[in-house]
Each structure stands twice: as structure tokens, then as C-alpha cells.
A and B are shown apart, each in its own frame.
Chain A
Amino acid sequence: MNRSMKGAGFLAFLAIASILLGVGVGSVPVSPVKIMIALAGQGDEGVRALILGLRLPRVALAFLTGAALSVGGTVMQSALENPLASPFGLGVSAGAGLGATMVMAAGLTGGIAGAFLLPAAGFAGGLGTVLLALALAKAFDARLSSVTVVLTGMVISLFFSAVMDLMAAMSPEYAQRIGLWQMGSFAAKGWQGVAVLGPVLLLCFVLFMSRASMLDVMTFGDEQAQGMGVDPQRSKRRVIALVAVLTGTAVAFSGIIGFVDLVAPHVARRLFGAGHRRILPAGMVLGGSFMVLCDLAARTLASPREIPVGAVTALLGAPFFLYVFFKKRGR
């Protein structure tokens, strides 16, 4: 009890601190007190507009995206009993990228329709690819073994990436935009992303939490899971489809931001053990906070230029991951 209280305290501190930092730091610094005043609808009009209209939606989307990728990664790793599995590895990123590339290469990004079309194509691409990978895996291997799923996802992922690169090369006028979208950004997305991703994340999180024990059992592999009272194939299909919806929604708004789906679950497990009742919320907060801080770095380090946030997550994530993962073994 004491330890979990400490853990919860640490997570709460991390979340609040990262959000305050994310909202407060920038070309115009805003103190936490001013942020609170602005949130309460008081104080300077300019600060209020800056925080509520610009920084807060950006930070909120970053947090939700990080949280969604982390939850998706955690659940995917468990369902496929493979600590190196991730939603992106299964084709979410490649599919979403292909969908978005198609829209951009067709020059359909202008206007209000374009603002909706791009995320919709990203979402459809991501979800569709995972479902395709699942269907193919099922056709190859009726038992839907995890190795088959991972391999099929990987192959489809690589194939779609190649198609995406090809399309980008064929339409050089959009190549830079496509390239940037592939590295992700939270700039100028407004509240629209938060309004969609928030409820999807909440729903998925509650669904996963309600089946935390089942996810625990699934980490022991299909045979043992079946022996313990879980139908591995059915559960796997449902879980993966749900993860595709969640992460597909996340990348639809922000573009592809790698590494968080892989790193956050591992850090959560290192710190809080493997039980899903703890690592789902913990991973969510860790992933969200990490994303907010990465986004902060992305927009401040080279200011006024912005670095793609996907590059920051990988730059910070890779060494941090190595440190956390091998710290124990190296000793």
C-alpha cells in the first residue's frame, strides 16, 4: 500500500509538472500561478488566449497521444507475449502514413474538408493495415500464433512504407510535407484532436483495465492462457483491433511519433512491475508526460524553428531505453 501510494504520488507529480512546464515554457513564459488564473477564466486576456487557445490544446493532445501510444504498446506487447511488439510494428504507423500520404499527394489537404480528411485517412490507414495483417495472419495460421502476427505485421509495414516512400518520391512538391507528417507534430491542432482522442482513449483504457487479469494471463502465451481459462485467439483479435483503433486515432492527428509505444511500457514495467492494473495507468501517465516534455523540447530547443517531435522522442527515448533496460543486467 505504501509503495503504491508513493508510486501514485510520483505519477501525479510527473503529470502535473510536465503539463505545467509544457504550458508555461515558451517564447512568453507563464508562471504556474498565472496558468491557474487563466484556467479559472481570469487575468490578462492575451495570456488566456495564449494558454487556452494555443498551448493547452497542444499540451493536452501531446499528453493524450503519448498516453494512447503507451497504452497501445503495453497491451500489444502483452497480447503478443512479445516485449518488442508494438502497434507501429504491426502496421499502424505505415498504414496511417500511407493513408495520409495518399491524401497529401492527391493535394486534398486544403480547406475544412482537408482538415478532416487527413486525420480520417490516417486513422483508416492505420486501422485497416492492422486488420489486414490480422486477417492475413489468420489465413496463414489458424491458431493465430503471436510469431505469425508479428511477422505478418512487420512485412505489411515494410511494404506499405515502401509504397509511401514511392508516392512521396513521385510527388516531389508534397515530399517535404509528407516527410514532416511522418515525423509528427502537435503544432496548431486546436481542440479538435483532444475532443476525439480523449473519449477514445478513455473508452479503450476502461475496457483494457476491465480485462487487466486477462491481459496478465495472456502474457504467458497462448497455450498457458488457454489452460488458465482465456481464449487466446478471440482475445488477441479483440485486443489488437482495439489497439489499432486507439493508436490509429492518435497518429491521425499528430502524425507518426515513434518510440513511445515501445519505451513507455518498458519503463512502466521496470518501475511498477508487470501487472496491468498498475502499468496501464502508470504507462499512460509516463507516456503522456514524456510526450509533453518531448514536445516542449521540440518547440523550444531550436526556437523559433521547430524540430519534429518524432525525432525528439527517438533521440531521448533510445538512450533512455537502453539505460533503463540494461541498467540491471550491466550491474
Chain B
Amino acid sequence: MLEVKKLSCGYGGEQVVNDISFTLSPGQRLVVLGSNGCGKTTLLRGLMGILPSTGTMEFDGRDLKAMTVREKGRTMAMLTQMNSVSFSYTVMETVLLGRYAHLEGGLFSTPGAEDRRMAEEQLKRLGLWQERDKRITELSGGQLQRVLLARTFVQEPRIILLDEPANHLDLKYQVELVEELKKWTSEPGRMAIGVFHDLDLALSFADTVLLMDRGRSVYLGSADGLDPEMLSRVFGIDVPGYMNASRRRWEKLRKSPYEAYPFLGDASDDLRCDFELMTDRMASEVGLLRAKVPDEGLKKELLWICELIYHMNPSLRTQLKVTEEEKDRLFAAVERLRVQCGDRCRRFVTPQGCETGCMAHILRVRGKELVRLLYRHIQQGHSVEPRLMDLANLLSGYFFYLALRLNADAGVDEIDFISRNY
């Protein structure tokens, strides 16, 4: 357990970090957030002992300030970003330097067989074994950062301090780095304190957040409990708005490629866009309204619709909060319905979009059923949320349109078929 009480530090006479206190238990990942110049890196330097500080720091009851630098090196390690290296150590040599604080026998001591084994293990784990004899001056930024990560792991600290370790790294390396660090922290007795340039990356790593504003702590608690308004105040911008905008963009990017909805076959871009927007909107609407409707029958109908939509748009499916039992029942019902109205469905089924055509038709029928239920509800004197009625109309309307479009794209003139058969 790391206990920091009233830590203050700064440069020269200027106090940059004021009265920061927190405790960290094994397994915890604390991320320090705040705008530039608020003292995040200074705090890390104070913790590491690079800057003189006031206040107390104890690790498992031992005073960190009273430790020798070497003792501290066995407790705490720091991972920073190195943009360039001037000295051409090999990868293996660099990683072995992580054992410096553990070297025994005083002067002239060199890493032993056990140290080498540990270095080998980490190099293999991080996929660097092939590169072990390469000079670090020849590595790419991402590889170099991984070598430094291996060196940090080999140091066997209990606490890792991360000072913007992922700057200038490709997204792939950023994510890999964070995942490796998460894995490391999950081992018994380990914890991490990090400063990240990127808010998304920071929040994906953190389970605990220390929000700093002008050197002081303004929030200390779980990452989930972070108040977006407070974030906006500290950063001086609409943080949730900004994050949502980028998230929506990502969602769109994630879904819009053709492979996102394979069952739409080679349908046009317009149709795909419509489909994405409509299913997204309806799914969230259904989910929202389902919680509000008092009637059990309506609730079930909405759950069913919800599941059907999710069935068509698998990227939405993870959001549905239903029990496994409910899910099984629903899938069985969908299957039954498909068999039951097999003949009728087939009329709306295009050669390349069998599933969707069928599902579109089923959803159209469910929409109509919902409208019918709602009217009966009104007739019985109950009030019905207007949004629910809109949704029901949208459902039957949109899925009728979708089935028509899918079939039209496949060269089946549905209108003609319907007008001749009904």
C-alpha cells in the first residue's frame, strides 16, 4: 500500500504541486489528469525523488524518502518516453540495466544468470527476443519504448510511474503498451501511477483518477465516478461533447465499411447509411421506452423488437441488457416465426439478402403489432407516450421500406408483386 500525505514539490522556490494526498492499494491504476502545467509530471518527479518535496510518502509502512536511491529503485520504477537515444546499447544490454538496483556484491558486480533469465523472459513476452542483439539506436520509436518497458518490468518494482510513456507512438503501440501495463498491474502486489497525454488512453488505463487543477487535487476517486462537468471545467473545454463527437465519428467509421453489415449484400451506400442511423436510433429509443412502459405485454413486445433489431445490426448487440434465458427464448421465437411465415417471407427475400429480407419483414409485422397494441391501450383509457407511437410507426414504415429497397436492388419489383397479390 502506498500512502502519500500532503505532498508538495516544485522547482527552485516555486511550488508547483500542493498538498496532494492519496493511498494506492495493490492492483490499482491511478491516472493523474489535468491540463498542461497543472503539475502532473512534477508530482511524478516528486514521488520518484527527482525533486525535493515536503509531506510524507510511505510504502508498506516504510518511509520512501528515507530509502537509498538503490532501495527505491527496487520499489519504484519510472517509464518515460525517449525520443532518441545517443548511445548504442544492444536491446539485451538495455534490458539488463533494469537489474542495476538488484545487483549484489557492490562494485564490479555484473548481471548474473538469473538476471539474464528474467531479461530473456520479458524480451520473449514482449516479442523482442529476435531483436536482442540489435542496437537500440536502430530501433523504431515503438520498439524502443517496448525495450524500455521490458527494462522496467525486469527491474521488478512494486510501483511503476508512467510519465507520458505513449507520446509519439502509433495507436497500435499505444494500445499494446497500455494493455501490457494493465496485465502487469494485475499481478499481486503491484500498482501504477500514470500521466498520459491522451485523455482516451488515460481513461482506458485508469481505475482511479486524480484530477489536478493548478497543482491541487480537485477529484480523487474511481474513474467511473468522474464528473464530466468537472473535467470540462478543469480542461476549459466541453470534454464530454468533444469525446462524444469523436466517439460518434468512430462508431460511424467502424460501421460504415461494407463488411459491417454483410447481410445487406451489395446494397447502395444510401441504404447502408439509412440502416445504420435507423437501427441505431430505434434501438436506443426502444431501450429507453421499454423501461418506462407500465404494461407487461408492451414491455415484452418492445424487448422482442429490440432483440430483432440487434439481430440485424450485430454491432449494437453488446448494448442489450437481457438475461441469457430471455435471449434464448427470443431467438427461439424468432426462429419459430421465421418457419411459420416462411412462405410469406420468401416473397420479400432477395437472393443475396435472405436473412435481412426476412428480418425486415418480421420487424415490419412487429411494428404493426406494436401500433395495434398501443391503440388498444389508448382505447382502454391508458395514456401512451407519444414517442412510443412515433417509434411504432417508424418501425413498420422503415422496415417495409427496407424490404422493398432490398428487393428492388436485387431486381424484384415488390410494389408490382404486392399490387398483384393483395
Contact = CB atoms under 8 A, between A and B. Distances in A.
Contacts of A229: 69-70, 72-74, 100-101
Interface stretch (A13-21, A105-113, A205-213): A205-213
17 contacts: A82-B86, A212-B108, A213-B100, A217-B100, A220-B85, A223-B80, A224-B78, A226-B48, A226-B78, A227-B79, A228-B97, A228-B98, A229-B101, A230-B70, A231-B69, A273-B89, A274-B93
B69 A230 contact: yes
Contacts of B70: 229-230
A277 B48 contact: no
A227 B87 contact: no
Given A219-B87, A229-B73, 16 more contacts: A83-B86, A143-B50, A216-B93, A222-B50, A223-B45, A223-B80, A227-B77, A227-B79, A229-B69, A229-B74, A230-B70, A273-B90, A274-B87, A274-B88, A274-B93, A274-B135
Interface in A129-150: 142-143
Contacts of A83: 86-87
A142 B12 contact: yes
Interface string B175-214: 0000000000000000000000000000000000000000
A274 B89 contact: yes
B229 to A, nearest CB: 35
A307 B65 CA distance: 58
A78 interface: yes
A294 to B, nearest CB: 26
A228 B156 CA distance: 11
B88 A214 contact: no
Contacts of B78: 223-224, 226-227
B161 interface: yes
Interface string B110-122: 1000000000000
B192 to A, nearest CB: 13
Contacts of A212: 108
B195 to A, nearest CB: 13
A34 interface: no
A220 B76 CA distance: 17
Given A223-B45, A227-B78, A273 B86 contact: no
B340 interface: no
Nearest to A278: B93
Contact of A228 (B87, B89, B90, B100): B100
B109 to A, nearest CB: 7
Interface string A218-249: 01101110111111000000000000000000
B103 interface: yes
Interface in B14-70: 45, 48-51, 69-70
Contact of B69 (A82, A223, A226, A274): A226
A104 B107 CA distance: 43
Interface string A269-281: 1000111010000
B107 A210 contact: yes
B155 interface: yes
B142 to A, nearest CB: 18
A81 interface: yes
A153 B98 CA distance: 31
B97 A217 contact: yes
A226 B97 CA distance: 13
Contacts of B97: 213, 216-217, 220, 228
Q: On chain B, which size bracket covers the interface?
A: 35 or more
Contacts of A273: 88-90, 93, 135
A219 B85 CA distance: 9
- The 5 tightest CB contacts between A and B, nearest first, are A229-B73, A229-B101, A227-B78, A210-B107, A229-B70
B109 A213 contact: yes
B100 A226 contact: no
Contact of A269 (B88, B110, B161, B163): B88
Contacts of B89: 216, 219, 273-275
A196 to B, nearest CB: 25
Interface in A60-103: 78, 81-83
A273 B70 CA distance: 26
Given A213-B100, A227-B77, A275 B93 contact: yes
A219 B86 CA distance: 8
Contacts of B90: 273
Contacts of B135: 273-274
A223 B82 CA distance: 11
B365 to A, nearest CB: 66
A226 B50 contact: yes
Nearest to A214: B100
Contacts of B155: 228
Q: Which of A219, A220, A227, A230 has the most CB of B within 10 A?
A: A227
Contacts of B87: 78, 81, 83, 219, 269, 274
B103 A213 contact: yes
Nearest to B111: A213
Nearest to B52: A142
Contacts of A216: 89, 93, 97, 100
A142 B14 CA distance: 13
Contacts of B49: 226
A215 to B, nearest CB: 10
Nearest to A211: B107
Nearest to A277: B110
A127 to B, nearest CB: 24
Interface in A5-39: none
A4 B98 CA distance: 23
A211 B107 CA distance: 6
A130 to B, nearest CB: 22
